[in-house]
Chain A
Amino acid sequence: MQAIIHILKTQGDDIVRSIGQHIGLSLISLLIAAVIAIPLAILLMNHKRSANVMLQITSVLQTIPSLALLGILIPIVGIGTVPSIIALVIYAVMPIFQNTYAGLTTIDPNLEEAATAFGLSRRMKLFRIELPLAMPMIISGIRIAMVMIIGTATLAALIGAGGLGTYILLGIETNNNALLIIGAVLSAILALVFGAGIDWLGKLSFKKAGLVLLTLIVLIGGFAGYRKIASPATDITIAGKMGSEPEILINMYKDLIEHDHPNMQVTTKANFGGTSFLFKALKSGSVDIYPEFTGTVLESLVTGQKSASHNPKTTYKVAKNALKSQYQMAYLKPMQYQNGYDLAVTKPFAKKYNLKTISDLIAVEDQIHAGFDPDFHQLKDGYPGLSKTYGLKFASAKTMEPSIRYKAIANGKVNLVDGYTTDPEVQEYHLVVLKDDKHFFPPYQGAPLMTEKLLTDHPELRTTLNKLAGKVSTTDMQKMNYKVTVKHEKAAAVAREYLKSHGLLD
């Protein structure tokens, strides 16, 4: 609870902006879906067979998993708001179409007969009789679509459209339940508020409802237009994955570029999504630069390089060449810190047994009760391989959720955990990371990734971004992550502070 209040206090502005993005995305999608589905249902209300075909099509669209749909859309329309809206519209069309069609075709045939026998025009019959009678069904369809949209819109955060999903994904990514709750609760509240609004709209006459909708469209359009005009022209867009570390890095990139080239405008997009989305975004040109790990490049992005070397320099070289030959991408020099697996113990424990390296564990292996993340416990790159390389066999090794793992060592339930080298919890719980003296863990070094074309157009970027090459130690990164994740300082401020204190920025 305290964590939630703290986040609300420190990140209030960002949260309000996310709510605004979420509302904008949802409303626009809902409006577009309604504008497509309702007239379609009206057109097809007297054509049962076509209507059935249409129902089938919309149902099939419904079954496409949202992530797959986003994946399909990115190569076609890129990333950001547009594919999110398209995906949301595709999902929302079915309930609205189905309910409108059902509402229009289940009207008491006697009423239809009366309207026909009175010689009412098609138009009058529709607007005076049929639509008002179908209205409760149409409204419930719109409600269903709305709830679905607000829920699914959280996924928009994956492809850089922002919204409350940012907090949910970030919460999942960083095991921060407070963020997760903020995102989820606010989404639920939005759904409730929208539901009430839709009910209210359904009770109004056509004219009034139309007027309200028109006002909304103008407001959203105006706001979007204002944002477009107000946001400065951008030369370079730098994005980062979920979490504090990429956000700190992209702010460093931005500060360095704008410092060296004052006429260049850089826009950052933090918490942009997962690896594959970012990589697609880079390929499609929606994003110009993002920081990527050497290990991840070999593991997920390039083909034919599965057996990663345990030497950081070789790994970087292999990754760089593969990116160049397979994707015409430039991969600048990596920073010093490594964000890979590690083993950590508490400071008192390390002191007591004089532990500095993983090899030092061999002497005390009978006393080690380890808590491992399930992946680490099973992967060849994890405990099984480690145990083979170092000849280690701990007294016990339990698997547990990543966040619980750190709490377990803090509470003394276990005395050794795996982790990522730059995890802020190392600082938070005063842990000691043991040196991988046999270079067992595959190296994960961060470096800026961009297209070769960008570097051809702006060759000066190479010099600027290479200022970070070999800089930022693992401890530096841990400290910065701690400040942002635990102390909730702004990533931009933390990044600038680092650059200044290390003489990279005046």
Chain B
Amino acid sequence: MIEFKNVSKQYENNLALDKLNLTIPSQDFFVLVGPSGSGKTTTLKMLNRLIEPTDGNIYFDDKRIIDYDLKQLRLQMGYVLQNIALFPNLNIQENIAIQAESLGWSRKDRIARARHLLSQVDLDPDQYATRMPSELSGGEQQRVGIIRALAIKPKVVLMDEPFSALDPISRKQLQDLVLRLHRELKMTFIFVTHDMHEALRLGQHIAVMRLGHIQQIGTGDEIMQHPANDFVRGFFQNEHAPRPTTVQSLLDAGYGEATTAAATLTADASVSALAAALKQTTPVVVTTVQGPRALSTPDLLDYLAAKEAD
């Protein structure tokens, strides 16, 4: 378990973190999300002491992290960087096993561990183990970046916006990968992102941050359903949170005709509910604040086609 107690970070004329209090349960997938300047990366880097707080204490398993031997602490905290940062002079298996090497593992053990991890993330060890980082695509490099953080089985894995530089397809694949690894490995994952969509997709718990303060902590559903303040609500909208498309979206887009027939559906019904209803009868009448409106199958198809085209 990790606890922040009144942690502040003061830069010369800028308060990056203001009396932060935060508890991260063991084996959680915890996401810190917020716009730039919110203090999320500062919070993360305090855990492996790349940044030291100016005030307050951080506890890791009930012991202050400043009381740990620095090297021992860092060896328990895997670290995945935004820019991937594979060492360009080392090949893939050497990169993966760099911490193992510093712990004095035998060469045989290091290679075995690297190969095992490579196959765990669907990279063929025979093909990848001895290549140089520059020969890999961005997505492949970050897979290696992730398993490098796992090589000596740390208790905690810190990830600092690890997918922000990747294309959408690689990002999705790697999100699936870290979810799978989290399920399999029973480690605490702490993940920083500015992408609310990513936060909702990955986080068991999410902390929304802004200007050095935590705005809200909760599960994705809790935050979605009950945003603590306007900032959190706005952040969701700006980030195109994956809300299920509702009938209201069609109405907003200008589909449907005024009718006097009796409504069979409400505007907050999902699009799939509308599709199901259209199979039974067409048009389907929906209640709106402006009165009932009729939606036909061509309306739904046009809407979906237009949305697809966006």
Contacts and interface: CB of A to CB of B under 8 A. Distances in A.
Interface of A: 108, 110-111, 113-121, 124, 128-129, 132-133
B87 A114 contact: yes
B70 A119 contact: yes
Contacts of B85: 108, 110-111, 113-114
Given A108-B85, A121-B71, A128-B90, A114 B79 contact: yes
B89 A119 contact: no
B83 A110 contact: yes
Contacts of A113: 50, 81, 85
A117 to B, nearest CB: 4
Contact of B89 (A118, A120, A133): A133
9 contacts: A111-B85, A113-B81, A116-B74, A119-B71, A119-B72, A128-B90, A128-B98, A128-B101, A133-B87
Contacts of A133: 87-89
A110 B81 contact: yes
Given A111-B88, A118-B75, 14 more contacts: A110-B83, A111-B85, A116-B50, A117-B50, A118-B79, A118-B98, A118-B99, A119-B74, A119-B75, A120-B102, A128-B87, A128-B98, A129-B87, A133-B89
Nearest to A119: B74
B43 to A, nearest CB: 15
Contacts of A132: 89
A397 to B, nearest CB: 69
A118 B152 CA distance: 10
The 5 closest A-B pairs by CB, nearest first: A119-B74, A117-B79, A132-B89, A110-B85, A114-B85
Contact of A118 (B72, B82, B90, B102): B102
Contacts of A110: 81-83, 85
Nearest to A111: B85
Interface residues of B, number: 23
B268 to A, nearest CB: 46
Contacts of A116: 50, 74
Nearest to A118: B99
A335 B158 CA distance: 90
B81 to A, nearest CB: 6
Contacts of B88: 111, 133
B48 interface: yes
The A interface, classified by DSSP as helix, strand, loop or mixed, is helix
Centre residue among A108, A113, A115, A117 by max chain B CB count within 10 A:
A117
A227 to B, nearest CB: 41
B99 A119 contact: yes
Contacts of B81: 110, 113-114, 117
A116 B50 CA distance: 8
Nearest to B76: A119
A113 B99 CA distance: 14
Nearest to A124: B102
Contacts of B50: 113, 116-117
A132 B85 CA distance: 15
Nearest to B88: A133
A133 B90 CA distance: 10
Given A117-B48, A117-B74, A129 B89 contact: yes
A346 to B, nearest CB: 72
A255 B77 CA distance: 81
A356 to B, nearest CB: 81
Interface in B3-49: 48
Nearest to A112: B85
- Interface centre among B71, B89, B158, by most A CB within 10 Å? B89
A493 to B, nearest CB: 60
Contacts of B71: 119, 121
B259 to A, nearest CB: 61
Contacts of A117: 48, 50, 74, 77, 79, 81, 158
A118 B87 contact: no
Contacts of A114: 79, 81, 85, 87
B89 to A, nearest CB: 4
A460 B251 CA distance: 125
A117 B159 CA distance: 12
A116 B102 CA distance: 12
Contacts of B74: 116-119
A202 B81 CA distance: 30
Interface string B98-110: 1101100000000
Interface centre among A119, A128, A132 (most CB of B within 10 A): A119
Contacts of A119: 70-75, 99, 102
B151 to A, nearest CB: 9
B83 to A, nearest CB: 5
Q: Which of A111, A113, A114, A124 has the most CB of B within 10 A?
A: A114
A129 B82 CA distance: 19
Nearest to B70: A119
A5 B192 CA distance: 75
Contacts of A121: 71, 102
A127 to B, nearest CB: 11
A121 B104 CA distance: 12
Nearest to B94: A128
Contacts of A120: 98-99, 102
B92 to A, nearest CB: 15
